[in-house]
A = this chain, B = another copy of it.
Amino acid sequence: MNESAAASPFRKRRLVILTEGCTEPVGAKTAACVIRYGKDTVVALLDSTQAGKTAQELLGIGGSIPIVARLEDAPTADTLLIGIAPTGGRIPPAWRAIVMAAIDRGYDVISGMHEFFSSDPEFAEEARHCGVKLIDIRKNSEHEVANRENIRPDCLRILTVGQDCSVGKMVVSVEVARALSRRGCDAKFVATGQTGILIEGDGCPVDCVVSDFLNGAVEKLVLANQHHDILMIEGQGSITHPRYSPVTLGLVHGAMPQGMILCYEAGRQAVRGMEDIRLTPLARLRELYETMASVMRPSRVIGVGLNSRRLSDREATEERERIRGEMDLPVCDVIRDGPDELVDEVLAMRTTRD
Q: Is there an interface contact between B242 and A148, defined as CB atoms closer than 8 Å?
A: yes
A305 within 8 A of B: no
Contact B243 A249 (CB under 8 A): no
Bound form: Cα–Cα A216–B209 in Å: 15
Chain B neighbourhood of A145, CB < 8 A:
243-244
Q: Which B residues are CB-close (under 8 A) to A240?
A: 295-296
Chain B minimum-CB-distance residue to A253 = B245
Chain A 152-207 interface residues, beta-carbon cutoff 8 Å to B = 206-207
Return A68 CB to nearest CB of chain B, in Å.
Answer: 31
Instruction: Name the B residues within 8 Å of A91 (CB-CB).
Output: none
A242 to chain B: which residues have CB within 8 Å? 146, 148, 215, 253, 296
Against B, the Cβ 8 Å flags (1 = close, 0 = not) of A115-156 are 100000000000000000000000000010111100000000
Could you tell me if B211 and A245 are in contact, using CB atoms closer than 8 angstroms?
A: no
The yes or no answer to A114 lying at the interface (CB within 8 A) is yes
Give the residues in chain B near A143, CB-CB below 8 Å.
89, 114-115
CA distance A107 to B334 in the complex (A): 62
Contacts of A210 in B (CB 8 A): 114, 207-211
> Chain B residue with minimal CB distance to A247?
B211
- Are A280 and B295 in contact, with the CB atoms below 8 A? yes
Q: Does A212 contact B (CB under 8 A)?
A: yes
Among A208, A209, A244, find the residue whose CB has the most chain B CB atoms closer than 10 A.
A244
Q: Is A292 an interface residue (CB 8 A)?
A: yes
Tell me, yes or no, whether A246 is within 8 Å of chain B by CB: yes
- Nearest Cβ distance between residue A217 and chain B, in whole angstroms? 9
Is residue A277 within 8 Å, beta carbon to beta carbon, of the partner chain? yes
Give the distance in Å from the alpha carbon of A89 to the alpha carbon of B213 in the complex: 11
Contacts of A207 in B (CB 8 A): 210-212
| B contact residues around A277 at 8 Å (CB) | 148
Is A291 interfacial (CB 8 A cutoff)? yes
Is A288's beta carbon under 8 Å from chain B?
Answer: yes
Quick check: is A26 within 8 A (CB to CB) of the other chain? no
Q: Are A295 and B288 in contact (CB under 8 A)?
A: yes
**Among residues 232 to 287 in chain A, which have CB atoms less than 8 Å away from a CB atom of chain B?**
240, 242-247, 249-250, 253, 274, 276-277, 280
The reply to whether A146 and B209 contact each other, CB–CB distance below 8 Å, is no
A99 at the interface (CB under 8 A from B): no
**Is there a chain B Cβ closer than 8 Å to A77's Cβ?**
no
Shortest 9 CB-CB distances between A and B: which pairs?
A: A246-B246, A246-B250, A207-B212, A145-B243, A240-B295, A214-B246, A211-B247, A249-B249, A146-B243
Interface of A toward B, CB cutoff 8 Å: 89, 114-115, 143, 145-148, 206-216, 240, 242-247, 249-250, 253, 274, 276-277, 280, 288, 291-292, 295-296
- Between-chain CB contacts (< 8 Å), 9 pairs: A145-B244, A146-B242, A146-B243, A207-B210, A207-B212, A211-B214, A212-B243, A215-B246, A216-B243
Q: 4 more A-B contacts (CB under 8 A) besides A114-B213, A212-B244? A: A207-B211, A208-B212, A246-B247, A288-B292
